[in-house]
Amino acid sequence: MSPARLTLLITITMIAFAGNSLLCRFALSGGSVDAASFTTIRLASGAVALAALVLVRGGGGRISGNWPSAWALLGYAAGFSFAYVSLPTATGALLLFGAVQATMIGYGLFVGERPNAHQVGGIVLASGGLVVLFLPGLQAPPIVGALLMVGAGISWGIYSLRGRGRSDPSRETAGNFLRAAPLAMVISAMLLRSAHATPRGIALAIASGAVTSGLGYATWYRVLPSLRATTAATVQLSVPAIAALGAVLLLREPVTARLALSAAAVLGGVAWYTLSKRVPGATTTRVRA
């Protein structure tokens, strides 16, 4: 994949992932839908969109996927939705992608990847940007919501690592969504008494599932084979800044100098890391489930 195409696909994917936070928070904070219903509709619509994509592409074969990845996907989607009942958009995005970063970088280091000095500088700068965004002056997030979002991030990190090296990511992702959707329905059935959904809430959940989740993941898995685990983790640090900017524009969160400084540091750190040379002799990790 050419550098220009890779950069474009990464940009589209990160915007889609940030869009998930905005769509979910907008739906849940307004009471348009409950968290369990949002999760079920999101996964079901994602499964339909991905299955349609696979059908249109043709090429023979069948939808694949596996149950361990489906459970990881469910852990991410459910934790994400229930966390956003209490967490604001930017705080949730920070906790989510911080957990993803820790999971993927930790795995990369475990299997022998070693960032060079420039890459370490990029990680420090991007991480510092996140600290600037949330400290000091902001209240600590609700503990239950924070733990749920951290769990969602760990699940996403595991899910992303399991998807590396797949020969047909769209078929894999479609199969995982198809498996995860019935599991989410079980959660909805258990919480049926608190279920509610307006047309707006349903539309937002469908958009999250079919566009920013399903197609976003399909694109992400096309990109992952070209990235090392530490690179993939650091690139995702841009998502909290994008989500915070979207919250300013769409959810009317206030514009602050701290937000602008944080976004510059995060995106600058990601660019610094991504453009740095790889360590000679380092191994490229490809996880196969």
The predicted structure's pLDDT at residue 87:
86
The predicted structure's pLDDT at residue 283:
36
Lowest mean pLDDT, pick from 63-67, 103-107, 204-208? 103-107
The predicted structure's pLDDT at residue 167:
67
Give per-residue pLDDT as tens, 259-283: 677 767 877 777 677 667 554 443 3
Burial class (CB in 10 A: 0-12, 13-18, 19+), 184: buried
The predicted structure's pLDDT at residue 6:
86
Cα gap 3→269, rounded to integer Å: 18
122 and 273 in contact (C-beta within 8 Å)?
Answer: yes
Q: Which residue has the higher pLDDT, 287 or 268?
A: 268
Please state the pTM of the whole predicted model: 0.81
Q: pLDDT category, 71, cuts 50, 70, 90?
A: very high
The predicted structure's pLDDT at residue 285:
36
Tokens of 70: 């489906």
Give per-residue pLDDT as tens, 117-164: 887 888 788 778 777 766 655 555 677 888 899 899 999 889 878 876
204 sits in the region (left: phi over 0; alpha: psi -120 to 50; else beta) called alpha
21 sits in the region (left: phi over 0; alpha: psi -120 to 50; else beta) called alpha
